[in-house]
Amino acid sequence: MATGRTVSASFLTDLDKQVIEICEKIGETIQNTIKDKDLQKDFKKQFGKVSYTRDGGLGLGGGKLQRDAICVRGRQGKAPFSNRNLRWHPLVVAHEPISFAKEIEKIEIEGTDESQVLVFYIKENGKLKPYPADKVHELPERYVALPKHWQPHVEILKNWNDTLWTQNSCVINAR
């Protein structure tokens, strides 16, 4: 299983930043209603703290308001569909079409044997636009990659090592 994140902690879209700003305002509003200064500090630390990254845990990231607003919990540590994946991550994989996402057009694999990159193509203004694995978080809306998109690449993908899968951790599964 690949390890790592679907998107770097510092790669925030405008929507991510707007949501974090809303969390910050909500946290400040609630904190200001707490009269006891020590309880204010506790609230801020546990719930109202914000971080303009997706880092969590060890007190480095945002508080519960932020984590619950922008992240899913996941099923196991460090898997591409695990903790700290953006709740509205725009690239989903599924067995069949899903109502809340458009289908991508195709997947290509680019690069050399040692550094291959998944590239997802969508149709934008009548033209195919590529989104490499490290840019899928910038997709303009939710898209889904289906088995038919992966099928042309099965022979290559089945030989990928953990490093290549980790470098291309860029999707979450539909649940």
> How does pLDDT run across 36-51, given as a tens digit for each residue?
999 999 989 888 888 8
- Tell me the residue length of the chain: 175
Instruction: Identify the residue whose tokens are 């910050």.
Output: 24
Asked if pLDDT for residue 77 goes beyond 60, the answer is no
Give pLDDT tens digits for 84-109.
555 566 888 889 999 888 999 999 99
> Rounded mean pLDDT of 54-66?
64
CA dihedral 56, 58, 61, 62 (to 10 degrees): 90
d(CA 130, CA 133): 10
Instruction: Identify the residue whose tokens are 């725009």.
Output: 90
Indicate the helix (H) or strand (E) that contains 171: none
Asked if pLDDT for residue 139 goes beyond 90, the answer is no
d(CA 172, CA 37): 41
